[in-house]
Amino acid sequence: MVRAAVVPAVGSPLEITEIELPEPGPGRVRVRLAAAGVCHSDLSLSDGTMRVPLPAVLGHEGAGTVVSVGEGVTHVAPGDEVVLNWAPSCGKCHPCSLGEVWLCADALAGANEVHARRADGGGDLYPGLNVAAFAEETVVAAGCVLPAPSGVPLADAALLGCAVLTGYGAVHHSARVREGETVAVFGVGGVGLAAVQAARVAGASKIIAVDVSPGKEALARGAGATDYVVAGERTPREIRSLTGKQGVDVAVECVGRAVTIRAAWESTRRGGRTTVVGIGGKDQQVTFNALELFHWGRTLSGCVYGNSDPAADLPVLAEHIRAGRLDPGALVTERIALDGIPAAFDNMTAGKGGRALVVF
C-alpha cells in the first residue's frame, strides 16, 4: 500500500489516503516518486474544467526511480531514474504521422483505464493524466517514463515533465522567439516563470512579466524579466509604452482566462504572435471582430504541452540546465509533503507563489 492524493468527484476536496497498486504487467513500469510538481492542470481536473474519469489519483509532473518493470520493457530497468511523461504519443495516429506528437489522438487513453484501488475498500481509481504522480509510488505504461537526464537532480527533473517543457516549448517551438525580439509573459506561476527563463535563453531584448500579484515581481525578475506589470485594465497600454508604443513581438498567455488572452492579444504589435498556453474553461469566450483581425495581422495560436516532443526535448533542456541557462529549482516557491497539496491548490487559486513541489 502507498499514500496518494485522490479526488473523489468533481469539486470534492482532495483526500490523502492509502491505495493498492497492482504489480506491473506487460509493458508497464512501477516507479517510486522522488518529487512531483503541483500544476494548475491538476486543479483543473479537480474542479471539472478538464474532464477525466473519477475518482482519480492526480499529479502529472514527476520524477523518481524504477522499482520494477513488466514483460517487454527494455528502455528502463529497476534502479533507473526516470521522468514521467503524462502525454505519451502512439506514433500511429494522424498528428503523430505529421510529427506533431503533442497532439497525439491517443495520448490520454491511459486515463480511462483503472489504475489502482482504495485500500479502504472504496473502489477503483483512475490515473488522472495517465501517471498519477501524487503518490509515493505509481504504475504506468512504459511510454510514460523517460530516462532522467544525467547531472540533473531528481527534484529538478520532476519539473521537466510539465512546467519547464511547456514554458520552454511555448517560447521556442510555438512562438519561435528570435534573438532581439520583445516578449510579454502573462501569468508567472510555474509555466510562466519557465517561459520567462526560456525567453532569456532565446535572447529576447525585453521580457515583460505580467501578473495580478505585485508580490511575484522578484520571482519574475529573478527568472529574467526586465520589466514587471501588475495586471489591470491598462495592461496593454503599459506594455505598449514599454515598447516604443508598438507592443511586443510575442505575447505568451499562461493563465487560460478570456480577459488575459484578450489582453495578451492587444499587447502584441501589428504582425506579432500571441501564444495561448493556459487551459481555460468552455465558458471563457474570447471575441474578435473581422476588421481587427485584418488590420493587426497578428497570429493567435494555441499551444499544447509546449508543442514539444519530450523524448527529443529533454536532452536539450538538460544541456541548458547543466550549462546554467535554465534553473528549474528557481520555479519552486514551496516544498511540501503529500498532505500539503490541498493548501497548494488554495494558493494557486489565490494567485500566490510559483511552483509547489511535493518532495517524497
Say if residue 148 is in the same domain as residue 7: yes
- Is it the case that residue 180 has pLDDT exceeding 80? yes
Would you say residue 308 lies in a domain?
no
Say if residue 205 is in the same domain as residue 99: no
Alpha helices in 83-234 (DSSP H): 94-97, 154-160, 163-169, 190-202, 217-223
Rounded to whole angstroms, the maximal C-alpha distance in the chain is 64
CATH number for the domain including 65? 3.90.180.10
- The pLDDT of residue 122 is 77
The pTM of the full predicted model, rounded to 2 decimals, is 0.94
What is the 8-class DSSP label of residue 129?
T
Say if residue 241 is in the same domain as residue 338: no
Confidence of residue 83 (pLDDT cuts 50, 70, 90): very high
**Residue in 213, 98, 155, 211 with CA at minimum distance from that of residue 163:** 155
- The identity of residue 66, as a single letter, is V
Say if residue 20 is in the same domain as residue 154: yes
Average predicted confidence (pLDDT) for the chain: 95
- The pLDDT of residue 50 is 83
CATH number for the domain including 200? 3.40.50.720
Query: What's the structural domain count of the chain?
Result: 2
Say if residue 13 is in the same domain as residue 136: yes
Say if residue 62 is in the same domain as residue 13: yes
Q: Report the range of poorest mean pLDDT among 39-48, 192-201, 227-236.
A: 39-48
- Is it the case that residue 34 has pLDDT exceeding 80? yes
Dump pLDDT digits (tens) for 310-329: 999 999 999 999 999 999 99
Would you say residue 314 lies in a domain?
no
Contact present, 284 and 257 (Cβ < 8 Å): yes
Q: Please state at what angle helix 341-349 crosses helix 40-47, rounded to 10 degrees.
A: 90
- The pLDDT of residue 349 is 85
Domain range enclosing 41: 2-161+327-359
Instruction: Among 266, 287, 303, give the residue marking a domain's end.
Output: 303
- The pLDDT of residue 334 is 94
Q: Please state at what angle helix 235-242 crosses helix 258-267, rounded to 10 degrees.
A: 30
Say if residue 148 is in the same domain as residue 17: yes
Asked whether the CA dihedral 323, 325, 326, 331 is positive or negative, the reply is positive
Would you say residue 51 lies in a domain?
yes
- The pLDDT of residue 41 is 87
- CA separation for the pair 267, 274 (Å, rounded): 9
Say if residue 192 is in the same domain as residue 340: no
Residue 255 CA: distances (Å) to CA of 117, 188, 211, 290, 311: 34, 9, 9, 25, 26
Would you say residue 296 lies in a domain?
yes
Dump pLDDT digits (tens) for 44-56: 888 888 888 999 9
